[in-house]
Structure 1
């Protein structure tokens, strides 16, 4: 019988702070550096953003748990079009706060090959009208933002001239939002008129943020709480993070089983109720990670964040591979005042997949030098992005599977493409862009 993943935290007193002097508390808080929301990637500021031909203000067609979400969309018409004819809706993904649609354009249209237009410009040249969909609270419930996606689909159908079907999808969490939206519309017998659905590095099975970094975000927040805005752990505790993470930590001192949040269980239950995936569209998946089973060079258990020798010692490690009571982090003054260890947790950080600059962002905030190869680890494993036919609530044993000859019935998608390397989550590469363009040719 497989052992269940656990996390074990040892502190000298009821809380970390109660075992420290005020000077030591301040020293730890200062070592953590900037007070900002951790794991919220900064928007892309370099490059030009196209001017939209239209802007839509959107309100979800129904609330979720009393929350009615809102959003907006920028419409970029294809060359020669004066109105929508062939709409492709591209939804924004995981993050904190409102979507920045100009930054979303820059990321989606970033040059990936010399002399080749960006992906979004290519689509417009092909006669495709691009609709970038954003959300006012990216961190809220998937079901709530899915209602905004439904409103966007209905708006596109109302504005479209002619009867060309839609293509609908999204990057990162945007792929889950649109997946739920289309499936919900089908379950309610609402005709979404969508011929193809796509997900771009979407965590269909789940996503990963290192457990030790989740813990440190809570610890920093408890020792040095913000009074003028969101705390360091605000994104981690958000509904969206709870709904997508395999292992979610609710505090710096949590010990016991590492499980999915109840919000994740509720979301997957709701997703099953509406049909799991939309059935009518042809389903495409793009993965920013490789499909050959080879992940980034992140040896399990390696110390990555290390203040070195001094009055304060702080260490955070790459997630070890399974085993019992494998240390992932410690803080102390001569002797540890807080330590954390995991048992039976797989080496997620080094799995093939789209990467997130998790350790790098924390190191930069703390002013700690870090080797470039340790900055980013796996965020969306390739098996998750290609929707391997597995139970999303289970901790996956197939993280390093070779997906190159995967039988068709082993994925919930109709077709997928993995990248040639393990590249940044949501980034556009030559391999993925060319495959996506080919899939849309003839639509």
Structure 2
């Protein structure tokens, strides 16, 4: 039986000598970047010649008394005047509302000279593209699944002919659509979906280093200006983060298990199990931005990533996640007499694992204005073993994150078919390997 992954935090507090507290507080406030940590920046957009129709969407049912809303941008296939063969594709994990023009630009950016973008290829092949976004990307997965259900139902109403739907999403959007289709089947609702596809979706959980989660909580307690502005840990404490992340901590002082900390994740996993994990009717496809060979990144477990000092005021040290072991140090943070030192036990070295990457260390180093080696800015966010939905326990993680996926029999995955990238690329990146494979299977 796998031993329980946990974190233990040493707390100390004493009044620093040196600068007066008020002056030190002002110095610290000026040194911190006032922003929501781990949120991906808005994608730069240009004016798009093709103007989509917009569906305003509202979930037909509440989740935890929340009725989620969103919208969809509908791009009809080339030369078409009505919806006939919809590909419904949902946005993923981030803070605040979706940026549908940015989502279009990201997935339609040319990935090979002389070749149209991924979405343009679909439109040229007669596939209608319906991009679904959410008013709050960071809310409950189940709440936003209600928005996707509304989009599916609207597509069924408008669709001409009997061609079935294609439904999927990027990152958490793949989890939202997975849940929506499974819920519809559980409720006896006809989703008319023949194909489901996920793009670097963390089916068994995503990873944000525990030491960086701690830092977000720790440093947000020191005001940086507008008290009404979003705080550093607003995304990491959000319902979506709790449900998405395999390991999560609730504050900078927390000691205990990290895979079962959040009741929201336990409830979400229980509901997926109740719904049969995946929808039954569709063919289930997935792509992973990580390699399938077990080759990860050269990020040495336990190595210091950055070591930031604001003399007499604050300090922060972050290490790459050590590989398992007992009470392995992951870093520390100090400010105005408060000190937090973190150690983990039985947590795998996920930063260097094969998978779609996120510049999580770089984001936090930038927020602290700390120096960091360029090669240390990004680590694994969605392990490949999660993106291809290998059949393992999403709580105990009884899997080798460096598994040679390509050597495994097909039945080891809960997907019918999947494709890994040829190298570890940025989370959600559209590469030639993944896009060509996806186009071939979507177009049929």
Q: Which residue of 2 aligns with 1:327?
A: 329
1:7 pairs with 2:7: yes
Q: Which residue of 2 aligns with 1:130?
A: 129
User: What RMSD over aligned residues (CA atoms) do the two structures have, in Å?
Assistant: 2.0
Q: Which residue of 1 aligns with 2:230?
A: 230
- Contact 1:50/1:105 (<8 A) preserved: no
1:101 pairs with 2:103: no
**5+ long unaligned stretches in structure 2:** none
- Contact 2:252/2:340 (<8 A) preserved: no
Distance 1:161 1:375, change over 3 A: same
TM-score, reference length from structure 1: 0.94
Q: Could you tell me how far 1:52 is from its partner in structure 2?
A: 3.2
Report 1:271-310 matches (<5 A).
271-307=272-308, 310=311
CA distance in 2, matches of 1:136, 1:97: 7
Distance 1:69 1:309, change over 3 A: closer
CA distance in 2, matches of 1:318, 1:249: 17
Residues 148-173 of structure 1 show CA distances to partners (whole Å, capped at 9, x for unaligned) of: 10000000011111111110000000
Report 1:108-187 matches (<5 A).
108-187=107-186
- Contact 1:184/1:275 (<8 A) preserved: no
Q: Could you tell me how far 1:281 is from its partner in structure 2?
A: 0.4
Distance 1:30 1:301, change over 3 A: farther
Distance 1:332 1:366, change over 3 A: closer
Distance 1:79 1:440, change over 3 A: same
- Contact 1:49/1:103 (<8 A) preserved: no
CA distance in 1, matches of 2:280, 2:417: 14
Q: Which residue of 2 aligns with 1:64?
A: 63
CA distance in 1, matches of 2:47, 2:78: 18
Aligned residues: 438
CA distance in 2, matches of 1:9, 1:72: 42
3-state SS in 2 of match to 1:65: coil
CA distance in 2, matches of 1:106, 1:203: 23
Distance 1:386 1:296, change over 3 A: same
- Contact 1:48/1:106 (<8 A) preserved: no
CA distance in 1, matches of 2:186, 2:2: 36
Q: Which residue of 1 aligns with 2:379?
A: 377
1:436 pairs with 2:438: yes
1:367 pairs with 2:363: no
CA distance in 1, matches of 2:361, 2:350: 13
Distance 1:136 1:113, change over 3 A: same
3-state SS in 2 of match to 1:349: coil
CA distance in 1, matches of 2:310, 2:186: 59
Q: Could you tell me how far 1:361 is from its partner in structure 2?
A: 1.1
CA distance in 2, matches of 1:299, 1:310: 28
3-state SS in 2 of match to 1:177: helix
CA distance in 2, matches of 1:393, 1:270: 14
Residues 50-69 of structure 1 show CA distances to partners (whole Å, capped at 9, x for unaligned) of: 53331000000211011000
Residues 127-155 of structure 1 show CA distances to partners (whole Å, capped at 9, x for unaligned) of: 10000000001011111100110000000
3-state SS in 1 of match to 2:106: helix
Q: Could you tell me how far 1:416 is from its partner in structure 2?
A: 0.1
Structure 1 stretch displaced more, 219-228 or 75-84: 219-228
Structure 1 stretch displaced more, 238-247 or 390-399: 390-399
Q: Could you tell me how far 1:339 is from its partner in structure 2?
A: 1.5
Q: Could you tell me how far 1:313 is from its partner in structure 2?
A: 3.5
CA distance in 2, matches of 1:329, 1:396: 26
Structure 1 stretch displaced more, 410-419 or 217-226: 217-226
CA distance in 2, matches of 1:40, 1:396: 29
CA distance in 1, matches of 2:229, 2:305: 29
Q: Could you tell me how far 1:29 is from its partner in structure 2?
A: 4.2
- Contact 1:78/1:125 (<8 A) preserved: yes
Q: Could you tell me how far 1:310 is from its partner in structure 2?
A: 4.4
- Contact 1:29/1:220 (<8 A) preserved: no
Q: Could you tell me how far 1:337 is from its partner in structure 2?
A: 2.7
CA distance in 2, matches of 1:263, 1:333: 31
Distance 1:61 1:335, change over 3 A: closer
Q: Could you tell me how far 1:221 is from its partner in structure 2?
A: 1.0
3-state SS in 2 of match to 1:12: strand
